[in-house]
Structure 1
Amino acid sequence: MRFKIILNIEKYALGNALPLNHQYEQSAVIYKILSYANTDYATWLHDNGFTADSKQFKLFTYSRLFIPQYTIDKQHALLLINSDTVEWYVSFLPEESTEKFIQGVFMNQTFQLGNQRNRVQFRVQSIEVLPSPHFEEEMTFETLSPICIALRNSDGRTDYLSPEDERSKESLLFSLLNRYEAFYGKPYAGTVDFNFEVLNAPKPVLITFKAGTPEESRVKGYMCRFKIKVNGELMKIMYESGIGMKGSLGWGMVKICKKIKD
């Protein structure tokens, strides 16, 4: 279930300078807002999620902030928000009781994003449920946040793959099947007819998590358009919870595109 959130920028409170690396903090905001209404639910979502193959899956994802007018301050790694509002898209795979619950806890909430030096205060102006699309076995999408495809190499380090890498297809399917098993509590039954094709040159994005702390790390992903073929049920899981890895940290959210002629 997907939501469109309009946020007001309360510039009088803290200004309009937002650190370029704020994606991790968006996830923290979601957990914090959920905890206001239902601490048990937020704790479960954060600590447990759905489990498959001894891995935990928080089956939601979210987009970047869509800012109509902004300026980049490269010297200080800041995003200066010049518009009065921004758009944010958040998607939850679970549907039972999700609509009223999410609308109720998010509406009129005020929160901050940023670090100790630069923070921006936002207030939720409106939250709208977007209609669920009809899922076909082959569809074309565009990323709203980067796709993260990570593999551990022989040295124990992590390789972040481009969607064009020949290893990406297998990794994406594996991730999708794991989320299916986590959500339904059983492995996917039957043959999977899967194909993944990148339709433009992927744009790399490097994001720093927990910048300036001992836990600081960098994650690489890619923005692109792609065509994917898979069973409609798996297509829905991909659309609602993101493609690739780290969906609950704001990676792999997509929107449907019109089919591009060959």
Structure 2
Amino acid sequence: MKFKITLECFGNYRTLPINYQYPLSAAIYKIIDQADKEYAEFLHREGYGKGYKFFSFSDLKAKFRIHGDRMILQFPIVSFFINFHLPEASQHFIKGLFQFRKISIADKNSKVDFEVKNIEALENPLKTAKPNEIIEANFKPQSPIVCGIKNDKKNYAFLEPGEEQFNESLIYNWRQKIEANYDVETADNALLISEIYFYGNNAARSRLITIKAGTPAKTKIRGFLNFKLRLRAEKRFVEILQNCGAGLYNAQGMGFLQPINTNAL
């Protein structure tokens, strides 16, 4: 379930941290947590069950200029896309959670206060296929996809698209998401195919992001943009990746997928 959220900043201060992903994630979690009891009761009443906090969101769409580690907004309106792995029937409830909310994006050095001016539900491009139908769908990341393998120190060695292990890591993580939404057997038996394509001769573009910047818990992660993914799987499994995001750190704004086209097989 995909939404476009439009924000308008109030006040004269328009300087965002360039590593805004974690603060934005925290603001989204705060909105969900404030409505958590009512949200959980709604889901229980409708019989939806697991996974209601699975979400992913895109980079901010805004006019800005970079100054050091800051983004200076040139216009008070910004927007982003957010996907929730929930049935369409919960659309109005989700819209109600975000409507007219205040969102602050801040770190120790900058803070911008926004109000949600609009939340628009967008059509699911996979809706015509049946849940168990094998489909092929093309996506491009609208935020960096992070894939990695943990080393002996339990830290991630980040991988680049084109490396064989990048695709293996992506599919492994995809199975984990299926297991979390279904069960181990379903995840183990799922047919999952992922292929990577680049734009002509252009290489994937790397981005280094700092999570929890300016704190003792800060973590640097590396993700990649500027390539396409072709996925082949049952519709219900493709939807999990579309809604929950590809790779790691999805709730921190990584791995948001924008569909290009879809074909039933």
Q: TM-score category by the smaller chain?
A: 0.7 to 0.9
Q: Deviations over 1:95-136 (max 9, x none)?
A: 275312221121111121122321111110010111111267
SS in 2 for 1:163: coil
Separation of aligned partners in 2, 1:208 and 1:229? 29
Aligned pairs for 1:204-223 (under 5 A) are 204-223=206-225
| Conserved 8 A contact 1:50-1:59 | no
Segments of structure 2 that go 5 or more residues without pairing to the other structure are: 41-48
Which structure 2 residues correspond to residues 221-260 of structure 1 after superposition, within 5 A?
221-231=223-233, 232-257=235-260
Q: Counterpart of 1:111?
A: 103
Q: Does 1:61 align with 2:56?
A: yes
1:160 paired to 2:158: yes
Unaligned runs of 5+ in 1: 43-48, 52-56
In structure 2, relative to structure 1, the CA distance for the partners of 1:183 and 1:96 (3 Å cut) is farther
Find the aligned partners of 1:252 and 1:213 in 2 and give their Cα distance. 24
1:91 counterpart (52, 74, 83)? 83
Query: CA, structure 1 residues 244+50, in 2 after alignment: closer, same or farther (shift >3 Å)?
Result: farther
Q: What's the RMSD between the two structures over aligned residues?
A: 2.5
User: Could you tell me the TM-score, scaled by structure 2's length?
Assistant: 0.84
CA contact (8 A) 2:59 2:143 kept: yes
- Which whole-Å CA distance do the structure 1 matches of 2:147 and 2:246 have between them? 9
The 1:233/1:39 distance shift into structure 2, 3 A limit, reads closer
8 Å contact from structure 1 (residues 198, 224) kept in 2: no
Task: State whether structure 2 residue 196 is matched by structure 1 residue 197.
Answer: yes
The DSSP-based 3-state class of the residue aligned with 1:137 is strand
Residue of 97, 108, 120 corresponding to 1:128: 120
TM-score under structure 1 normalisation? 0.84
**Greater mean deviation of Cα atoms: 217-226 or 120-129:** 217-226
CA drift of 1:164 comes to 1.5
Please give the secondary structure, in 2, of the residue aligned with 1:116.
coil
The alpha-carbon distance between structure 1 residues 183 and 258, as it changes in their structure 2 partners (threshold 3 A), is closer
The separation in 2 between residues aligned to 1:148 and 1:193, in whole angstroms, is 18
Residue 70, structure 1, aligned to residue 64, structure 2: yes
Separation in structure 2 between the aligned mates of residue 190 and residue 214 of structure 1, nearest angstrom: 41
Which has the larger displacement, 180-189 or 116-125? Answer: 180-189
Once the two structures are TM-superposed, the CA of residue 248 in structure 1 deviates from its matched residue by: 1.2
The alpha carbon displacement at 1:193 in A equals: 5.0
**Cα offset, 1:38, TM superposition:** 3.0
| Pairwise CA distance, 1:18 | 0.5
Matched residues in 2 for 1:23 and 1:70: separation?
16
In structure 2, the residue matched to 1:45 is none
